Amino acid sequence: MEKLAPFCVILPRTACLALLPLFLMFSFYSGTSGATSIQNLLQNHGLPGGLLPNAVESFSHDPSSGLLDVRLVRPCYARFDDGLAYFESQVLGNLSYGALRGVVGWSQEELFLWLPVKGIVVADPASGVILFDIGVARKRLAVSAFEDPPDCIPAEDEAAAGIGLLGRREGFLHQRQ
């Protein structure tokens, strides 16, 4: 109520009380969006802050169910070390300490195939290893590769091809021509 004090001088007390829920709702939503906030949320749950690209438009997290709903500005590709990932404009998962399970909207390129990322786990933070469940296998990577959010490169084929993001597939297609 003290943040509303300047307004309460101008407005009657009943009007200030009526505006209080709107002010609180705005404060809640402004604190749950943006890349920095999603980084903090992931780090507070034992995961590296750079798992998601730097184009997070908004996100919501329900602590009781663990549901994490992340909205990106656009679908995009992102590079992690030598790997290539694709993010849809909405990424969903169940966030718990050290894990993001039931992931939807995130794929990883492996041996010419795009495989859905189903889960991400940091079982032992001291090991420096993060495990990616890509359905048919589990991939072990260094946690340090995910400290900073990668750039979000637009998913349009022309843009991806122009900067060589089609990875091994691009080289294979050029060999066939």
Reported as a single tens digit per residue, the pLDDT across 39-79 is: 999 999 999 999 999 999 999 999 999 999 999 999 999 99
Asked whether residue 10 is assigned to any structural domain, the reply reads no
CATH number of the domain at 152, please.
2.30.240
Residues 6+ apart with CB under 8 A from 62: none
Tell me which residue range forms the domain holding 166: 35-176
| Residue 26, pLDDT score | 38
Residue 131 in domain: yes
**Beta partners for residue 138, in sequence order:** 133
In a domain, 124, yes or no: yes
19 found inside a domain? no
Task: Please write the tens of the pLDDT for every residue from 2-32.
Answer: 544 544 445 455 544 454 444 433 333 434 4
The pLDDT, as a whole number, for residue 155 is 76
Q: How many domains does the chain have?
A: 1
DSSP state of 74: S
Does residue 121 sit within a domain? Answer: yes
